[in-house]
Structure 1
Amino acid sequence: MTKSKLISSIAAALIAASIFGGIDAQAAPHDTSIAIMATSVPVEEPSEETKEASDLKARVAQILNPEKDNVKVNGIKKGDLYVPKGTNIMLSLVNPLHSKRVKAGANFHLKTVDNLIINDVIVIPKDQEVTGKVIDAHKNGIFGGSGKLVINIPYVETRNGIQVPVNGYVSGYGNRDNGAIAVTAVVSVFGLFMKGTNIEYAPGQLFCVTVKEDTDLDATPENLKEVMSAERPHGQVLIVQAAK
């Protein structure tokens, strides 16, 4: 086969591939035995001056109203227990996530891998359902472009319904198909039909999130066990006045 015929054959194959679904290399699912470390959402953090001003305001309120036990400093009510900032919480993905199949705004589900225990009391139980959100997603593209999948897990809920904010931001990309660029040099414009890989998180994929800030548990050392009791009814609480 002559060089020109070889190039023509490759070009024809690429055209056919583009017509019948394209050359769409898929990334292998992530290793579920390795936890992906989530980070904080990339937003501008408040300045130290702003934080200090907020703390000072809370302290002044406490000094002016010493009889009020519900005044919080750094978000924690005096006498209450809390989940410390920086605490690691391991989560396992329930359903697969694929950059080609999900859309921005979609929810997905995870579950906690272990109990989170504070003072010998289970605060967040194993297999607690956790909801995440897809921030951005797009499939692989031409010129070897990779797929993209950006997700965020905003909080994990305690047994008594406290939403513990976590750093649960993960931005992932598939691999670029560098071979496509090399092929382009041989088959000219037909190389643009080559694609990079998508990104996929398989069920069981582990994500490690960290508690974003000290979070008040709305419980004291004395009543923590009662508040977090599995037998105690938990759920949405409404206080409604009788109609007049």
Structure 2
Amino acid sequence: MSAGRSERPQVAAARRVGVTDERVLAAMAAVPRERFVPPAARSEADLDRPLRIGSNQTTSQPSLIATMLQALRLTGTERVLEVGTGFGYQAALLAHLVAEVVTVERHALLADRARGNLVAVGLAHVTVLVGDGTLGAPEYAPFDAITVAAAAPAVPPALAEQLAPGGRLVAPIGPRGQQVVVVYEYRDGQLVVVERLTAVRFVPLVSDGPDRLGRDR
């Protein structure tokens, strides 16, 4: 779709921040954000800003989501893990971009809402799990890409272990007030930083165990 008045506001916002991947832009055009926010927030769905979705969680602004998706360099054949489903908006975008989407949400209520939202727009094939996102989804691994929608001091070791060789992981890393979206590649059995995208403010990634968030490196 070319830029213009008929373009979804989310697509225009993505273009403004430098997103040029036409597949990502097409996915943004195909997914109605208003179907993935609470009813009370639907009048704000076209705004490029985070929105509260309950359970002390938010859905990120579309331009940031598009930036993170572009950084994954998806081609359409991948199996992708999303950590932090929320209301299912990013999972819906991924469903237009890859072959298989697995998404993990800590809050059962949000996972239920996401499933309903995805079914309502014809994306029932997305696998929505309830669980500790720091553990990933080992039964579905390996993944060609992983995207994390909550901040941690370092990438949880389980997520790194579930990446396929050459796979990419995008996550907000750092303490509150100093978070940066970091792009990693899995090379020779370890994560390698390939790019730091932008400063952000994400909700914290919560673990059920004391040692699952890794250590600052």
Q: Does TM-score exceed 0.5, indicating one fold?
A: no
TM-score with structure 1 setting the length: 0.20
- Greater RCO, 1 or 2 (C-alpha within 8 Å, sep 6+): 1
Q: Which has the higher helix share?
A: 2
TM-score with structure 2 setting the length: 0.22
